[in-house]
Chain A
Amino acid sequence: MAGGQERILRGRIRSVQATKKITRAMELIAASRIVKAQQRVIAAVPYSERITEVVKDLAASGAGNDSPFLKSRDEIRTTCYVSITADRGLCGGYNSGVMRAVEGEIKADVLASKDYLVVPIGRKSEGYFRFRGYKMGQGFSGFSDTPAYADAKRIGEYVVDLYTSGKVDRVELVYTRFISAGSQEVVRRPLVPLERDVVAGGDGKPEGGGGGYEFEPDPSVILETLLPRYVEARVYAALLNAAASEHAFRQRAMKSATDNAEEIIKNLSRIMNRARQDSITTEIMEIVGGAEALGSGKSA
């Protein structure tokens, strides 16, 4: 009987050990990917910095004062939320953090009797919002690990089209910003129309240069081709941040899973050892008792 309990415990320990091996491996993989994802975030900075500068200079030169991208609409009826999450789970509160933030915004909009539209990025978002019956636009998934610029371009084109066709009056990105391997935060950032203070600050003059820019073709044409690129660059930066955060969250989640498994193994081993000790003691007692009974029988 006692031996049976010992066998069951041994089986459970083995299963926890197997799980621990998996979580440990996932932890190490995530840790190595954080570094790569972080490098990609850094590598994308020069482009977005430069493009922001060019947008500022163009805006300052007076071009695009009537560009629909730069003017917020008088009445905001529909807000589009681009919810950037992972394709996979097992990353702690990463997905739910973003989705909760989006859901909160939607509820506030509904209370203010405004309309909304969710554009889910990543399979987790898609499943979550579809299951709860929220109004959704097109979903994009399959690249949350290592987003490419082409993915950002697809998303950018889609939301720009939603905006220019008048289906939505505002687009906001909700994603997890990567601050460092130890800290990330869910943020909500307006994407289109561009905020005034994004385009303000340029003086229309290049550093060190004298007069203003010369343009070819004219500034408004450049701005028209430039702004969609700018939106894409913003989406790309958000995707890269989200990917790095996903890996960081997964590493933490898997680390605590591994620690937890170790704890369970320790407790189970203790119980198992006691059970084994008990069964040995009982066996010895039985043997001693038996021998005594035999011995006393002989001497009698």
Chain B
Amino acid sequence: MAETGSLRVEVVSPERVLFSGEATQVITRTLDGGEIAFLPGHISFLGALVENHTRIYLTGGAVQDLAVHGGFVEVAPDHVTILSDSAELAADIDIARARAAKQRAEEAMRGEHDATVESALRRAHARLAASGGVNEILGAKH
């Protein structure tokens, strides 16, 4: 059932269950592991996540984008659970605010690098990526 079936995906934040549904693939990014994709039948896996743009490929063919700001992922052959202090569905992201936050963080970075600013920038990137502004980030990086 696991090899050909689908994954039961849940994104859980402390305040509520953000998302729950059936999917065929989940892509997220782990702490110093880079991007990782999970397909049905994946070996049991436990990872710590960084701020990232997570994509859930639903069984219906649609893609659910999320900005996940750190947390954990627990994977079994038939389910994926993402635990995160703060995660946002793409639809809930305020693009203008994320863009402003990105700009602020970038300006602060020109002065000095500190961990809070860096994580603020990573959060802004994750939000923009999840809400479809991927080009903007690529443009900024080069």
Which residues of A come within 8 Å of B, CB atoms? 40, 43-44, 46-48, 50-51, 53-54, 57-58, 148-149, 152-153, 205-217, 219, 221-222, 225-226, 229, 232-233, 236
CB distance from B3 to the nearest CB of A (A): 13
A51–B85 alpha-carbon span in the complex (Å): 11
Report, as a range, how many residues of chain B touch the other chain.
20 to 34
Whether B45 lies near A213 (C-beta < 8 A) is: yes
CB distance from B27 to the nearest CB of A (A): 14
Query: Does B114 belong to the interface (CB within 8 Å)?
Result: no
| Segment of B7-15, B90-98, B105-113, B122-130 engaged in the interface with chain A | B7-15
Whether B46 lies near A214 (C-beta < 8 A) is: yes
- A interface majority secondary structure: helix
**Can you name the residue of chain B whose Cβ is closest to the Cβ of A40?**
B15
Q: 11 A-B residue contacts at CB 8 Å?
A: A43-B17, A44-B16, A47-B13, A48-B14, A54-B83, A149-B15, A206-B44, A206-B76, A210-B44, A213-B46, A233-B14
Whether A43 lies near B15 (C-beta < 8 A) is: yes
List the count of A-B residue pairs having beta carbons below 8 Å apart: 96
**Extra inter-chain contacts (19) besides given A50-B74, A233-B14, CB under 8 Å:** A43-B17, A44-B15, A46-B10, A47-B13, A47-B14, A48-B14, A50-B12, A50-B81, A149-B13, A149-B14, A207-B76, A209-B77, A210-B44, A216-B45, A225-B31, A226-B48, A229-B85, A232-B14, A236-B14
Query: Does B65 belong to the interface (CB within 8 Å)?
Result: no
Chain B CB within 10 A, most for which of A57, A152, A229: A229
Q: Which residues of A contact B76 (CB under 8 A)?
A: 206-209
CB distance from B16 to the nearest CB of A (A): 5
Q: Which residues of A contact B10 (CB under 8 A)?
A: 46
**Can you name the residue of chain B whose Cβ is closest to the Cβ of A152?**
B14
* Cβ 8 A contact of B48, one of A152, A153, A208, A217: A217
- B interface majority secondary structure: strand
* Cβ 8 A contact of B83, one of A51, A152, A206, A221: A51
A43–B14 alpha-carbon span in the complex (Å): 8
Q: Which residues of B contact A205 (CB under 8 A)?
A: 44
Q: Which residues of B contact A43 (CB under 8 A)?
A: 15-17
CB distance from A273 to the nearest CB of B (A): 56
Chain A CB within 10 A, most for which of B46, B47, B83: B46
A149–B43 alpha-carbon span in the complex (Å): 32
A222–B14 alpha-carbon span in the complex (Å): 18
Q: Which residues of A contact B44 (CB under 8 A)?
A: 205-206, 209-214
Q: Which residues of A contact B36 (CB under 8 A)?
A: 216
